[in-house]
Structure 1
Amino acid sequence: MFDDYSLPEGGVVADVGGADGAMICQFLAGEPDRRGIVFDRPEVVPAARKVLAEHGLADRVDVAGGDFFESVPEADVYVLSYILHDWDDGSCLRILRTVKAAAARGARIVLVESVIPPGDGPHPAKFVDLTMLAMLTGRERTAEEYEALLDAAGFTLDRIVATPTPFSFIEATLR
């Protein structure tokens, strides 16, 4: 999934909803000048310390517990991997606005999400969307829906980088 993809520039990368830190380990591998933060619920983040140590990143990646509806750490780049699809638009806006409140103008956000392609053809995101509709309040979104959501929160969509997997990297900049 990370083949040929690099995060936007920025010295501090916060993985919001980062669970055990596996995602930030992949993003920061080979980038020794960057620091990181794994941010998730207080009961979740202790597992990240072990994963970070196993990957030799414990000295440059901090671990912080909290609630992304309330606050997130200050960073230059924010990664939210498979987070927004869990929530309705109103909740997504709350999360994005929390990031906006912590970030400086020009900060970048990278959403790692499935993007529903146009047309009626089959796509894994469409099947996940049905599951989300039946079981949770979240949903999968089209590129246009992500752009509108980001815009409403104060971000400008920069690009969407498709991968060979069902996931894409959706990059935006805080206005």
Structure 2
Amino acid sequence: MIDEYSGLAQEKEILFTMRTVFRIVEIKQTTKNNCNWEAQLAITDESDPQLTGLTDCIKEEINDEGWYRMGQLIVEVGHFNQAEELYNELLANTSNDSDRTHIYHMLGYLKHDQGEYEETVTFYEKSLETKRKTVPEDDASSASTYGNIGTTYRRMGDYSKALEFYEKI
């Protein structure tokens, strides 16, 4: 209970951790005010089979770790602006070239999903540029990024540029 620290003494408040998950038991409109709704919640734990199933499915489909997994999940559900904010925050707070390479790649991926192909190419090229600081230009790990750039140029109708990148794979 954190009611003694609350800004509103009449409210009984409880502090939960970030990973607290609730199941909605019931939702009903309050009788006093039609604009307010009351939700009855039940806390779950790690033994909840539906929560465990959802978590396992996310881990199986999204292979990143930590905040990168969160970013990819946000992209997958179509919240591109929030994902971009997260990736830009991660980019601002990393000094690791490997992380920077991955973040630029994911920014390119989300811009591609939005149909913003010029920005897609820019981010994929930044990813390659950063990666070249640690591996040679013809390193096999760059193949997927070359392919993504080629696909982006193909979608833009620039087939000669697409071919140029496909040939680097």
Which has the bigger relative contact order, CA under 8 A and spacing at least 6?
1
More helix by share: 2
Greater Rg by CA: 2
More strand by share: 1
TM-score past 0.5 threshold: no
